[in-house]
Structure 1
Amino acid sequence: MNKYIYLRLTNSIRILKNKLFLSKKSYLIWNKLRVKGVENVIFVEGTGKLRNCKISIKGKNNTITIKDGANVSYSQLEIVGDHCDITIGENTDIGGAYLSSKGNNTTLSIGSDCMLSRNINIMTYDGHPIYDRDSKKQINHPQSICIKNNVWIAANASILKGVTVESGSVIGFGSIVTKSISANSISAGIPARKIKENIYWEH
C-alpha cells in the first residue's frame, strides 16, 4: 500500500511498501498505523481486536502479530530496528500498555489468556544507549522479553529487558520487574520480589 486508506471504522493506516493482513472477522476501530521501511508485516488473526491503538514500525523484516481472540485497546505498539517481533497471544486482554521492541533481533512476546491492566510498560531496551568511556562500546544492549500464558499484570507495572514471566503468575500494582519471575507466583515491589508461590488466578 502506498497511500492512506481507511479500513473497518475510521482507522488511519499508512503502510508504504509493507504488508497488513486482516482476518475477515477482525475488529479495528480508531487506530493509527504507521510503517516505514521494507518487508514489515502486521497480522490481525481471527477475531483479534484493536481499538484506539497506535502502531508504529521503523526498519525492515519486522512483524507484529495479534492472535485470534486478543483484545488490545488504548495501547501503543512500537518496533524500531530490524528483524524484531511483537506477538500478543490468543484471548489476551490489554487495556492500556506501551509495548516496545527496539534493537535488532529482539522479540517481545505475550502468551495466551493474559490480562494486562492500564499504564503498563514493557520495553526491550533502556531508552538510550550507554557506553564505556574507555572502550567506547555500548554496555546496555537490548534484550528480548517473554511473558508466557495466563499472566496477570496489574496497573502501572513495568517489565524490563531480558525478563521472562512464567505461566500462571501475577505482577502486583506499580511493580518494576527486573528479573525473571517463576511460574504460579505473585511478585510485587520495586524491584519486584516473589511474595507468594503455588497460586493460580482466574480471568
Structure 2
Amino acid sequence: MFASQNQVRADDGHPIFDVRSGERVNRARSVHIGDHVWLGFGAIVLAGAQIGSGSVVGAASIVTRRIPNNAVAVGSPAKVVRRHVAWERPHLGLVPPYCKADSSTVTKSRYWSMTVEEERPPRFRMAKAALRRMRTLRRR
C-alpha cells in the first residue's frame, strides 16, 4: 500500500565517478519490496533496499538497506523500531465496530508472522594492544 508522494529509485539518475580510477561509484542496484508492505506518506526507497513482507515504513522515511518482515521502520535512514507487527486495512469509519481496539475486530490476513532476523556473522574485535599499536603507527 503506497501513500502519496512516495519514491522508489534504483538509480541516482546521474553518474558519479571516482577521479582516480574512473569507476562509477553509484551504480544502479535492485530494489525489493515484499508483499503487503505499507509505505507511509513521502517514504523513499533507494537503490539496494529490501523491505520484507508485512512491514510498515513510516512517513518521510528513507529506506537504504534491509528491513525485515513484519517490522516498523522509521527515520532517515530508516531503522527498525518495532518487530513482530501485522497490519490490516479495514476502513475505520465504514465497518463496525468503528473502533478497532484489538485484533479480534479484523480479519487476519496471511501476513501475520513473527519477524525473522537475518543471521549476521560475528563482528571482528581487535585486542586493545593491537588497536594501540595501530594508532601509534598512524601517528608516525
TM-score (norm 2): 0.62
Residues paired across the two proteins, number: 89
- CA deviation map 1:124-174 (0-9, x unaligned): 012211101011111110001110101000011100001110000000000
1:155 aligns with 2:38: no
Greater Rg by CA: 2
Q: Higher helix fraction: Structure 1 or Structure 2?
A: 2
Percentage of identical aligned residues: 36
1:172 aligns with 2:64: no
Q: d(CA) in 2 for partners of 1:158 and 1:117?
A: 11
**Match of residue 140, structure 1, among 10, 26, 49:** 26
Q: d(CA) in 2 for partners of 1:140 and 1:174?
A: 23
- CA deviation map 1:8-62 (0-9, x unaligned): xxxxxxxxxxxxxxxxxxxxxxxxxxxxxxxxxxxxxxxxxxxxxxxxxxxxxxx
Q: d(CA) in 2 for partners of 1:156 and 1:196?
A: 20
Q: d(CA) in 1 for partners of 2:67 and 2:88?
A: 19
Q: CA RMSD in A?
A: 0.7
What is the one-letter code of the residue matched to 2:82? K
What is the one-letter code of the residue matched to 2:2? L
What is the one-letter code of the residue matched to 1:126? D
TM-score (norm 1): 0.43
Q: Higher strand fraction: Structure 1 or Structure 2?
A: 1
What is the one-letter code of the residue matched to 1:192? A
- CA deviation map 1:50-100 (0-9, x unaligned): xxxxxxxxxxxxxxxxxxxxxxxxxxxxxxxxxxxxxxxxxxxxxxxxxxx
What is the one-letter code of the residue matched to 2:36? N
Residue aligned with 2:32, SS: strand
**Runs of 4+ more than 4 Å apart:** none
**Match of residue 183, structure 1, among 69, 82, 89:** 69
Residue aligned with 1:116, SS: coil
Structure 1: stretches of 5+ with no match in the other structure: 1-114
Q: d(CA) in 1 for partners of 2:55 and 2:23?
A: 36
